[in-house]
Amino acid sequence: MPTVTIFGAGNMARGIGTRLAASKEEVQILAPKPDEAAALARELAAAGGSACGAMQAEPILGDVVVLAVPYDAALEIAQSRRDELAGKIVVDITNPVDWASFERLVTPPDSSAAEEIAKRLPGVPVVKAFNTTFAGTLLEGQVAGQPLDVFVAGDDADAKARVAELIGGTGLRVIDAGPLRRARQLEQLGFLHMALQDNLGSGYGSAIKIITP
């Protein structure tokens, strides 16, 4: 039985799924196009994990559910699958960027994508994670020989600990960013990281790293 369900079959789903597969987690991929879900599941299985893929409307099998889809799609999944998500842990990885202008986030100043998703899932623990990491770096698990830092925010201590356990098991370094409201700062940081790419010339191959003495 899969322990993690990932909504989406794009680059971030591939990056996160690859790390989970390499740590032998069982993964379910749900996507609007079942052939894409199945293709990604085969990739993850080839990476050493156990994976299955199905159409997005199929039952959610994992206890941890990763919304590796754009913000609007994440909101729709939270709303339409609310009853099925009860009793699970939802991981939001989105950065709610206004793609038309690429000048701002579309969420209210006193909220975040994670908090807006949580409003649609009363009683369901929502954890913010992976929004400051790029898909290509997740495939490698490191940049310049350094493991990626993954910032995690959430209000439910047990849910956050479970997500941290999964991430830590992939060889990535977990940094506890505090309560879910810290997703506001994490999403601004994720946006800044994207906005810097042209000047850095890194081709989305950079990472945000916390260095301590």
| Domain boundaries along the sequence of the chain | 4-200
CA dist 46 and 40 (Å) reads 10
Q: What is the pLDDT of residues 14-63, one digit of tens each?
A: 999 999 998 999 999 999 999 999 999 999 998 777 899 999 999 999 99
| Average pLDDT in the chain | 96
Q: Is 27 exposed, middle or buried (0-12, 13-18, 19+ CB in 10 A)?
A: buried
Q: Is 206 exposed, middle or buried (0-12, 13-18, 19+ CB in 10 A)?
A: middle
Fold topology of 4-200: Rossmann fold (3.40.50)
CA dist 93 and 70 (Å) reads 9
Question: pTM for the whole thing?
Answer: 0.97
pLDDT of residue 108: 96
CA dist 106 and 75 (Å) reads 13
Would you write out the chain's pLDDT as a tens digit for each of its 213 residues?
679 999 999 999 999 999 999 899 999 999 999 999 999 999 999 877 789 999 999 999 999 999 999 999 999 999 999 999 999 999 999 999 999 999 999 999 999 999 999 999 999 999 999 999 999 999 999 999 999 999 999 999 999 999 999 999 999 999 999 999 999 999 999 999 999 999 999 999 999 999 999
Q: What is the pLDDT of residues 119-128, one digit of tens each?
A: 999 999 999 9
pLDDT of residue 2: 78
Report the chain's terminal Cα–Cα distance, integer Å: 42
CA 56 from centre of chain: 17
